[in-house]
Amino acid sequence: MKRERKKRPELTRKVPIVRREKVRVEALEPATWRLVISAENDGAMNMAIDEALAESVKAGESLPTLRFYGWSPPCLSIGRAQSADVVSFPDTQKLGWDVVRRASGGRAVLHIDELTYSIAALDDEPRVKGGVLESYRRLSAGLLRGLKEIGVLPERAQAYYDDQGEVGPACFDGPSDYEITIGQRKLIGSAQMRSGNLVLQHGSIPLAGDITRIVDCLDLTLGERMALRNRLRWRAVSLEYATGKVWNSADLTENLINGFSQALKLTFETVPLSERELARASEIRAEKFGNEAWTMRR
């Protein structure tokens, strides 16, 4: 009697997902945005300033805003919905690093030796219109152009079905859809929040240093730390490592401003934080981002 052969299960394939932009970058009409270049602040104040700026945009008191800033002291930021259990608080205290919970989503980022950008706009602004991935792709055109201005050859990471197992706690452990890579290694990590008609996006650009330092402040076993270090070495990169050149934040900021201007047809008006915005940021810092109840959510 002939035995019936069992069908072999089909193997999971990594098939590229093709998405089309509903608003093409090439079709954008020229627009004017506000530009804010800030001094370094601690993590809670940086997040509070972004929220104060977002409130100004929502109230119609400010144009859509692109902000650049740094962090002092270094800070581990965790995503809005991420559990505080991923943080090793004894290690962050020993290292002298802050911890803050962002208003935007995503996974943990160590803000050290880096440049951060934020964008606040209403969701009817054509550059952020549509879904999260659609707006990521459109805004990434400005980042790509800015990096090309300094001689880098960046690429957009392509979207794939996820068949790589559980997602780890660190943002730079592999690129998400349409984030910026160099040689298939993640250079810029971005996260977004959409609340009502408001869009707030954060992006982190490591300038230099050991990309695996974030492992030192995550609550992981020794084996998990070793595994994550190895993944980060292969999946992420700093701008200095990618180019062999030391970059300061002021020079990179200027090039990224030019990139956003050219790729997204933007004119920028440099408008510093108003006294009202600074006062509001201080309130938000005390009530939210500097409040342990917000940071420690699980």
Cβ neighbors of 234 (< 8 A, separation 6 or more) are: 185
Helix H or strand E segment including 180: strand 180-182
Q: Are 108 and 149 in contact (CB under 8 A)?
A: no
Active site residue 171: yes
Q: Which of 3-17, 134-148, 258-272 has the highest mean pLDDT?
A: 258-272
User: What pLDDT does 185 receive?
Assistant: 86
Domain boundaries, the chain: 28-290
- As a residue count, the chain comes to 298
Range in 15-19, 104-108, 197-201 with the lowest mean pLDDT: 15-19
User: What pLDDT does 56 receive?
Assistant: 98
- Catalytic-role residue among 108, 171, 191, 252: 171
* CA dist list (Å): 150 to 67, 207, 211, 237: 20, 13, 21, 16
156-187, pLDDT tens digit by residue?
765 443 434 455 665 544 445 567 888 888 89
111 forms bridges with which residues in the sheet?
A: 75
User: What pLDDT does 226 receive?
Assistant: 93
Give the CATH number of domain 28-290; options: 3.40.640.10, 3.30.930.10, 3.30.70.20, 3.30.450.40. Answer: 3.30.930.10
User: What pLDDT does 157 receive?
Assistant: 61
Mean of per-residue pLDDT scores for the chain = 87
User: What pLDDT does 254 receive?
Assistant: 96
User: What pLDDT does 79 receive?
Assistant: 93
Buried b (16+ CB within 10 A) or exposed e, 55-76: bbbbeeebbbbbbbbbbeebbb
pLDDT band at 27 (very low <50, low <70, confident <90, very high): confident
User: What pLDDT does 255 receive?
Assistant: 95
